[in-house]
Amino acid sequence: MPELKFSITSSPDYCLLQAQGTIDYEAIENFKSILRQDEILKAQNLILDLTAVSTLSSTGIGVILWSEIQCRQLGARLIIMCPNKKICKDIQFLSSGEMILTSNLPAAVQYAQEHLEALKSESEVLLSQPS
């Protein structure tokens, strides 16, 4: 069974977590520990790239849903890049509807930038209101 590997790329707009291999029961603790890294926890947008994931078990989907909850609690947005339509449907069916699903990186980056603009606008409105 292929080992699960990760690479992380950060930018001012997002943190890109690229997974490669199999996300199953055996890989869950590794996956969760990656999701708990400071670099990921500080991101306003987490793009989870599942393009190179060969197998995603129900346990793996559970961790993705857990990461959606974690992102929401931190005020961040989870964006999933997933070209596999069946996996996307499974995730979308079980999701609370807060995460974004897309099939390519340019769309994922655009969602991240739009989210940051919305947060910025929200902050400006709050700061301009009299106390």
pLDDT in tens, 52-107: 998 888 888 888 888 888 888 888 899 999 888 888 888 888 887 778 888 888 89
Domain boundaries 5-128, corresponding CATH code: 3.30.750.24
> What SS3 class is residue 20?
strand
pLDDT confidence of residue 124: 60
Q: What is the DSSP letter of 50?
A: E
Give the helix/strand (H/E) hosting 51.
Answer: strand 45-56
pTM of the model as a whole: 0.84
Q: Spell out the domain ranges in the chain.
A: 5-128
pLDDT at 24: 87
Q: What is the CA radius of gyration of the chain?
A: 15
